[in-house]
């Protein structure tokens, strides 16, 4: 199916999402924080989607998204935030940083999978 980059400083959350996505047939690459995620987003070919937390050490998720946008990668990857942050201001900052979708933790597995499949099934530009 698709190669998905999951970036979260919580090993428990990464494991949960990885298990869910792999059960659905996807492959998963993990990033432990924004810096690690940024490097993997730039160096691992064929990533089709990034699932990212906002609040992480070293580099937060929104700053990572801004850096990815500034890098102007040849094949931009849709970014999906999975976070405890739910304020309209944060969502606006996310949209400005290039975030395509936003789900608040805790999340229902079925809702997450449905959103992932919807994003992956979109035609690419």
Per-residue pLDDT at 72: 66
Instruction: Please identify every stretch of the chain with a pLDDT value under 50, giving residue numbers as ranges.
Output: 125
53 and 10 in contact (C-beta within 8 Å)?
A: yes
Is cis: bond before 112, omega within 30 of 0?
A: no
Smallest CA-to-CA distance from 47 within 4, 78, 81, 101 is with 4
What does the pLDDT read at residue 74?
62
Q: What is the pLDDT of residue 40?
A: 94
* Domains observed in the chain: 1-55+65-86 (3.40.50.2300)
DSSP SS3 for 50:
strand
Q: How confident is the model at residue 1, as a pLDDT?
A: 85
Q: Say whether pTM exceeds 0.95.
A: no
């Amino acid at each position: 199916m698709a190669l998905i980059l999951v970036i979260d400083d919580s090993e428990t959350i990464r494991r949960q999402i990885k298990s869910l996505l792999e059960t659905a047939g996807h492959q998963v690459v993990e990033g432990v924080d924004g810096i690690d995620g940024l490097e993997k987003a730039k160096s691992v070919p064929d990533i089709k989607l990034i699932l990212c937390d906002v609040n992480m050490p070293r580099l937060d998720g929104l700053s990572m998204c801004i850096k990815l946008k500034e890098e102007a990668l040849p094949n931009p990857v849709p970014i999906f935030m999975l976070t405890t942050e739910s304020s309209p201001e944060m969502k606006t900052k996310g949209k400005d940083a290039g975030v395509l979708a936003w789900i608040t933790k805790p999340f229902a597995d079925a809702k997450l999978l449905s959103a992932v499949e919807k994003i992956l099934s979109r035609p690419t530009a």
